[in-house]
């Protein structure tokens, strides 16, 4: 416990010294973070392979490239983001200066996740650095090789007076959360998220929670089965299905299901061959506990594709289930594995009603050749993010906010949204020390005439409206 207190204290002293505030310092640390990625590519690939059997292609597109994009967006825009944002004034403040100052919070805590152990840690760090904070990083202990890589190598690149990496499991996280932080960013399950939020409440610490959830995917009649199967299978079975924005279940008519299942069979064979266990492009479950958890879910519905398991290899084949009921175990929790349940509905209205009966997901998908159907799903549902006729691709745009809604989390990040998340929007008004006569209207003794004048100089009038007397 004392070591965590010492670490937090050291970082707070550095923050209070003003070291992290200059834009040039922030940019130097972002550049150092990029050097960490560039100079350790082989070590990163090896660590990912050991933890998740993640192919190099997926490491690049879903881990390092994501972080590089965030770094470059921040470097390209940081001088603009950090400028004071001047605002409109009323008559009473015409001679004053009114603006929003983007202040760093201070010492922030970033708790990563095991499924994308580098990206889900460093992406948040980019926002924290860009906003001028000091940060403590807590990598997931489940992705042990990446945890060791980050703890051993990252401190060699970043300023150790302002940034630290701490390791450990639930006990260490509990001890860490006893310290006062100025902001917390947590990625993980809703259950642990509640614990983090309760700990933050003790210190009135603001936080962002990215919690995932069961992401629905509605597929309309008339969709091209092959195109839909390609896009659906890629995002569902990426990282062996261990992706927080993966479609967790499909809603479609019986007619569409009869077209989709053979299309998925052809797609999976084209992606991973006749035996996906031998494919270099298909990953593994992170550990034995999660393997057993996911394996149990195979008992729901009827397996029409996949279903093979190898406990020693932590391998579960890409699997498609049909005849799944809403009450089945596979529908009671986020799957976080290579299983795709298909439930049948009569059409879009029944699909929307089904979606709205459940907690708001992190992502929601709708496939249809009819734009009005996609718009209808978008208009009548709620989720963290939405993507029409594809999956996950909304995450690749740093110009879009990404985050949960309700049970799937709170807060948002990516690009400037990350900078804003880790910045306190400080309202500032600067006035002259003189010109005191202009202030006498608001001082006692009060009069109706003074009240009328004060209201006329401070109230905002409605535009384009009329008032009936």
449 is written with which tokens?
């005439």
62: its two tokens: 């879903």
Six token digits for residue 359: 């907690």
223 is catalytic: no
Where does residue 181 rank: exposed (0-12), middle (13-18), buried (19+ CB within 10 A)?
buried
Q: Is 130 helix (H, G, I), strand (E, B) or coil?
A: helix
Do 286 and 52 form a contact (C-beta atoms < 8 A)? yes
State the catalytic residue, choosing from 58, 70, 210, 334.
210
DSSP output for 5-60: HHHHHHHHHHHHTTTT-SHHHHHHHHHHHHHHHHHTHHHHHHHHHHHH---HHHHI
User: Among 134, 162, 244, 252, which one carries the catalytic annotation?
Assistant: 244
Tokens of 118: 């580098």
What is the CB neighbour count within 10 angstroms for residue 89?
A: 13
For residues 282 and 305, what is the distance between their CA atoms, to the nearest angstrom? 16
What is the three-class DSSP state of 366? Answer: strand
CA–CA dist 458, 98 (Å, integer): 14
CA 282 to chain centre: 24
CA distances for 272 relative to 237, 283, 287, 358, angstroms:
10, 11, 22, 33
Return phi, psi of residue 216, to 5°. -80, 155
Could you confirm whether 466 is annotated as catalytic?
no
At residue 61's C-alpha, the angle toward residues 60 and 64, to 5°, is 50
* CA distance linking residue 392 with residue 119, whole number of Å: 15
- Catalytic residues, by residue number, are 210, 244
């Amino acid at each position: 416990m004392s070591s965590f207190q010492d670490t937090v204290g050291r970082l707070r002293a550095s923050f209070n010294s003003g070291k992290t505030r200059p834009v040039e310092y922030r940019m130097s640390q972002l550049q150092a973070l990029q050097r960490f990625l560039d100079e350790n590519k082989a070590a990163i690939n090896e660590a990912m392979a050991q933890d998740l059997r993640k192919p190099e292609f997926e490491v690049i597109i879903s881990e390092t490239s994501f972080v590089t994009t965030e770094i470059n967006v921040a470097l390209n825009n940081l001088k603009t983001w950090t400028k004071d944002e001047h605002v409109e004034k009323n008559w009473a403040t015409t001679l004053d200066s009114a603006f929003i100052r983007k202040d760093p919070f201070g010492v922030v805590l970033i708790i990563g996740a095991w499924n994308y152990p580098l990206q889900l840690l460093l992406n948040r760090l980019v926002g924290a650095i860009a906003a001028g904070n000091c940060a403590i990083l807590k990598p997931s202990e489940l992705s042990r090789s990446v945890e060791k890589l980050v703890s051993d190598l990252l401190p060699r690149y970043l300023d150790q007076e302002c940034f630290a990496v701490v390791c450990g499991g639930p006990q260490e996280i509990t001890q860490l959360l006893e310290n006062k932080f100025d902001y917390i960013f947590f990625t993980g399950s809703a259950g642990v998220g509640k614990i983090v939020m309760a700990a933050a409440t003790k210190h009135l610490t603001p936080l962002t929670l990215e919690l995932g959830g069961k992401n629905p995917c509605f597929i309309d009649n008339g969709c091209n089965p092959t195109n839909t199967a390609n896009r659906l299978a890629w995002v569902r079975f990426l990282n062996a299905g261990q992706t927080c924005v993966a479609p967790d279940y499909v809603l479609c008519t019986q007619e569409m299901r009869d077209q989709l299942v053979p299309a998925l069979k052809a797609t999976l064979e084209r992606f991973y061959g006749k035996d996906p266990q031998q494919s270099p492009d298909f990953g593994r479950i992170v550990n034995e506990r999660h393997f057993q958890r996911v394996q149990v879910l195979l008992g729901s519905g009827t397996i029409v594709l996949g279903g093979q398991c190898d406990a020693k290899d932590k391998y579960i084949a890409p699997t498609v289930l049909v005849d799944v009921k809403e009450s089945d175990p596979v529908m009671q929790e986020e799957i976080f594995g290579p299983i795709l349940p298909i439930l049948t509905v009569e059409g879009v209205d029944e699909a929307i009603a089904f979606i709205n009966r459940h907690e708001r997901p992190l992502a929601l998908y709708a496939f249809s050749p009819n734009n009005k159907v996609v718009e209808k799903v978008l208009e009548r549902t709620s989720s963290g993010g939405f993507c029409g006729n594809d999956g996950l691709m909304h995450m690749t745009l740093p110009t879009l906010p990404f985050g949960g809604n309700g049970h799937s989390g709170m807060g948002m990040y990516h690009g400037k949204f990350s900078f804003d998340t880790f910045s306190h929007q400080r309202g500032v008004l600067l006035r002259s020390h003189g010109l005191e006569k202009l202030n006498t209207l608001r001082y006692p003794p009060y009069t109706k005439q003074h009240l009328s004048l004060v209201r006329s100089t401070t109230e905002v009038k409605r535009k384009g409206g009329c008032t009936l007397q």
